[in-house]
Amino acid sequence: EDQVTQSPEALRLQEGESSSLNCSYTVSGLRGLFWYRQDPGKGPEFLFTLYSAGEEKEKERLKATLTKKESFLHITAPKPEDSATYLCAVQAIQASGGSYIPTFGRGTSLIVHP
């Protein structure tokens, strides 16, 4: 069974204090790993897709990296507006060639204090 575990569940940072969020996964074959940001009461907002180990993507203060077992979302010099829940999702290669149901982690709730 595909599994996605995000840690920590919650993270409090001071403005400017860089840190990383972790997403560890167990799948038979990775088709894609996705990062989303979700603000309270809103739908998730797509950030990045990573397809293979070693791949990295950046957007403003965020940088996502991928290994064969986990992904990190690095936040450099965060600002209060970066406060949100960050979700990781994994899509596995299906041996039967059938459905591609992504598995979401439960998220990391990030609060950045001014």
Task: Confirm or reject binding of residue 49 to other proteins (CB under 8 A).
Answer: yes
Longest dimension (CA), the chain: 50
Residues 75-104 that bind other proteins (CB under 8 A): 87, 89, 91, 99-102, 104
Task: Confirm or reject binding of residue 58 to other proteins (CB under 8 A).
Answer: no
Task: Confirm or reject binding of residue 44 to other proteins (CB under 8 A).
Answer: yes
Residue closer to other proteins by CB (options 41, 54) is: 41
Distance (Å, rounded) from C-alpha 106 to C-alpha 113? Answer: 22
Distance (Å, rounded) from C-alpha 16 to C-alpha 80? Answer: 9
> Quick one: CA dihedral 82, 42, 106, 51, positive or negative?
negative
List residues near other proteins by CB under 8 A. 31-32, 34, 36, 41-49, 51, 87, 89, 91, 99-102, 104-107
